Amino acid sequence: MCSVCLRCGPSCVSVLAVHEPSPWALWQFRAMIVCVNPSSWPVLDYADYGCYCGKGGSGTPVDDLDRCCQVHDYCYSDSMQHEDCWGIFDNPYTEIYSYQCDRASKTVTCKENNNPCEMFICECDRKAAMCFDKAGYNPEHAHLPSEHC
C-alpha cells in the first residue's frame, strides 16, 4: 500500500482541466489513474480524447470513456458551487487533497483528513479514475476533431 499526500501552490490543476496544468496536480490525478489502471498512460490516453477528455468539452460524448470525462467535468463544476468550497482557494484546479492507493486491489480511497471541499474534489477524481479503468479505450476517438462532437 502506498499513500500520497501532496501540497503545492495555487497553480495546481487536473489533467482534464481547462486551465494550464501544474506538474504537481497533474501528478496527483495521474497517480490515481495509474493506481487503478497501471498499464495506462494518462497524459497520452486522456488529454485529448473524444469530446470531453482534455481542455474544454462540448457536444455528445462519443463513448463510455468520453462520458467519464464529461461526468468529471460536471463534478468539477459542481465543486465550484459546493457550500464547503470557498472561492479561488478551493478551486478544483488548485485544490490538493490526500488519498491512498492500494496497488494490490487497484483501489483509491480519499482520506478522512480531507476537509469537506477536498473530499468532494478527491471523490470527483477517484470516480473518474475508476470510470476510466472500466471504460474501453478506442484509438479512433483520440485527437477527435471538434466537428464530430
Across residues 67-90, what is the average pLDDT?
Answer: 89
Tell me the one-letter amino acid at 107.
T
User: When comparing pLDDT for 42 and 65, which is higher?
Assistant: 65
pLDDT at 25 over 70: no
pLDDT at 112 over 70: yes
Map out the domains of the chain with their CATH numbers: 2-144 (1.20.90.10)
* H-helix or E-strand spanning residue 129: helix 116-134
H helix count then E strand count, the chain: 4, 5
**Residue 54 in marked binding region:** yes
Across residues 110-123, what is the average pLDDT?
Answer: 96
What is the SS3 assignment for 53?
strand
Task: Write down the pLDDT at residue 4.
Answer: 33
Catalytic positions, please? 72, 125
The C-alpha atoms of residue 78 and residue 133 are separated, in whole angstroms, by: 23
Tell me the one-letter amino acid at 53.
C
Task: Write down the pLDDT at residue 41.
Answer: 86
pLDDT at 99 over 80: yes
Across residues 52-69, what is the average pLDDT?
Answer: 93
**Residue 56 in marked binding region:** yes
Task: Write down the pLDDT at residue 16.
Answer: 38
Across residues 77-97, what is the average pLDDT?
Answer: 85
Task: Write down the pLDDT at residue 26.
Answer: 66
- Closest by CA position to 37, among listed 142, 138, 136: 136
pLDDT at 101 over 80: yes
Burial of 83 (0-12, 13-18, 19+ CB in 10 A): exposed
Task: Write down the pLDDT at residue 96.
Answer: 87
Give the count of beta carbons closer than 10 Å to the beta carbon of residue 109.
14
pLDDT at 48 over 80: yes
The C-alpha atoms of residue 63 and residue 138 are separated, in whole angstroms, by: 8
Q: What is this structure's pTM?
A: 0.80
